[in-house]
Structure 1
């Protein structure tokens, strides 16, 4: 009972939130910075996002593998925050396009690995310091910080950029990196050494299940991975193109995009919780297909909206789309790969990176040729293709999808 009541260091929650805010400040406003402040064409707006996606895949794979061999992640978090400070300083001081691209791809994406390392630290903390009964709730709270960060981050970013300029906004982001880097060494406790020479019982059990598990339906797995990649593609294309679509085509100030995105993030939290509850009672594939329908309505609504209130109303569909996708998507992949939860989680995470890469190409080419509004027409087609792919997914009797252990655990 004493273990169950042991308090969790609040620094873990605060620093997870703070690193999430940095991304929520910089990423939604970055397309406006490139198009308006640097004055580049749509093709050159999409190019840095392509590099960001590729660099994120490489950095996360390499750093994730290497960092698992370290006994203390805290200096690593602080070091990556230092790189993030340098990238934001370059954003604030220069208006040379290729220097900005270099800073975004080589430096900012590496700086944001601090968030991945914060999540890794929280998993280490849970494994070494918490009783099993508390781990699901702890993980859910830590991962919920990113949703909460996106409630506050985008409105703050667009307000700072609109009223004080992009340079001020980037100095604020740099300051947040400094805060996270310095306080990570103070607020996060040093964790005791773990016995890495002997896998825990659950890992042994999983390894046994992996060798004994039947091979998943490869076609269904491939279709699922393609569909999730396409759905993450349209979501990221929405984040890149919406500010410029509103400004160029509807005459709505881009600062309103921050409030729109914050509203969606706020609604996503209860949707994720509700999805976790319903996932135990309703077929998960049916819920994921429902998310696709919500996404289709969202992008169609953006195309035909002419008033600000309509865009705010559409955020309920955005919340359903992302809340279900993020909350339950990994469970579908796990059902297709029984006994291989680690591999399933890695594959699902990679669909987000592939989606980000595809979206940057989508925005760069479509917006350059046809304008930012056309990005949403293409998104409608992509969502339809994802829905067709989901219709082809079939589960074996032993692969019945089940709900995740805690809402928000998909990462």
Structure 2
């Protein structure tokens, strides 16, 4: 049986789908909970989001490197899930802003590390069981589960919040966190013996990253951060541009995003399939080229159907970026799956911080419409960074 479809691989896919659903349930509705459930002003809504981004970077980097020295990741991943359950139970019952902000910044962000650690576990599995040329495809299938989750998760979260209230929504999320943690402990096996694990680490430590590897790694981190930043700036600006600039109802934004999420999945799988047949960096640059078409198109578009049509380029962009990004970092950091998954996850957090500043400055000085023009420059810089990175094909 192909290692891509063994019972353990299928279990990993299922757990990623579940973690994706619980994250998609909680994160998109958080701003609504803060603004409507607690009644705080916009500035206070933004503080927990900035705090989550900063703490996630810190947690991911410290825990990611440390976790590579552990003989077994499973108890660590499960612990983070149980912390997520406690955090969401706290959100279900607390209506004090300071308490909620502290829980979100310090504990919910820690629970989100379960994603990068499960990603590290999947990389460990791939390194031991999947042929090297098929690892990008395996990683793409893993990431496709997140895309599937984000097709269903946000609508489910908003429906729960609207019809049953925030308390029931957060208790549902808490139950899911507990289920995922228990499933990880019960169904995910220990990948190899403690001795083999330590021997693997010692061999990796004997081969430090070379100067070219470090340079390529820095350039790729910059490139991925810029691309994720451009994507987040687009997500922030598009609803407001549609509403204020084109007088199009914001209810269509969910349909536009859902269209993209659905289209991403086949492009993720195709990217993983072709990564074994071509230079992976050429595919990453193809994602950048699609982003250029997307943002140029959004800048000149003035009809709703045009925004829907442009989602094909958005799907190529995000499908390749999300599907292959971790494979690029993994190639540059062999034997360091925890650090590699944490570093790649952090590029999205770096991008979110950068894009928040970009949108604030550009939209305040000009309009949200001009953010798409600046995105063209941001993506061009990312393509330049990837073009100067040397990653083996």
Partner residue in 1 for 2:249: 252
- Whole-Å Cα distance in 2 between the matches of residues 9 and 155 of structure 1? 28
Is contact 2:3–2:9 with CA below 8 Å preserved after alignment? no
Alignment of 1:386 onto 2:382: no
Question: Which whole-Å CA distance do the structure 2 matches of 1:24 and 1:70 have between them?
Answer: 29
- SS of the equivalent of 2:33 reads helix
- Which of residues 312, 316, 319 is equivalent to 1:320? 316
Instruction: Indicate whether 1:377 and 2:373 are aligned.
Output: no
Residue correspondences, number: 390
Question: How big is the shift at 1:381?
Answer: 0.5
Where does structure 2 lack aligned partners over 5 or more consecutive residues? none
* In structure 2, C-alpha distance between the alignment counterparts of 1:91 and 1:309, rounded to whole Å: 39
Change (3 A) 1:341 1:64: closer
What are the within-5 Å matches in structure 2 for residues 222-233 of structure 1?
225-233=221-229
Deviation at 1:131, TM superposition (A): 6.3
Counterparts of 1:23 and 1:83 in 2: how far apart (Å)? 14
Aligned pair in 2 of structure 1 residues 363, 223: CA closer, same or farther (>3 Å)?
Answer: same
Q: 1:25 to 1:313 in 2, by over 3 A?
A: farther
- Alignment check: 8 A CA contact 1:264 1:316 kept: yes
- The 8 Å contact of residues 237 and 359 in structure 1, kept in 2 or not, is answered as yes
Mapped to 2, the partners of 1:121 and 1:280 lie a distance apart of 22
Change (3 A) 1:193 1:350: same
TM-score normalised according to structure 1 size: 0.75
- Partner Cα separation in structure 1 for residue 11 and residue 281 of structure 2: 37
Q: Distance in 1 between matches of 2:183 and 2:65?
A: 25
Counterpart-to-counterpart distance in 2, 1:215 and 1:191? 31
Deviates more, 1:239-248 or 1:161-170: 239-248
CA deviation vs aligned residue, 1:280-325 (integer Å, no higher than 9, x gap): 6777666545433433444455566676554433321221221232
Task: For residues 197-253 of structure 1, give each alpha carbon's deviation from its aligned partner in whole angstroms, at most 9, with x where no partner exists.
Answer: 76449x848955x67x663695x8766543432221122234445556667775635
Q: Secondary structure at the match of 2:11?
A: helix
1:237 paired residue among 233, 236, 258: 233
TM-score, normalising length: structure 2: 0.78
Give me the whole-angstrom Cα distance separating, in 2, the residues matched to 1:245 and 1:36.
23
Residue 111 and residue 243 in structure 1: after superposition, are their counterparts in 2 closer, same or farther (change >3 A)?
farther
Report if aligned partners of 2:224, 2:382 keep a CA contact under 8 Å in 1: no
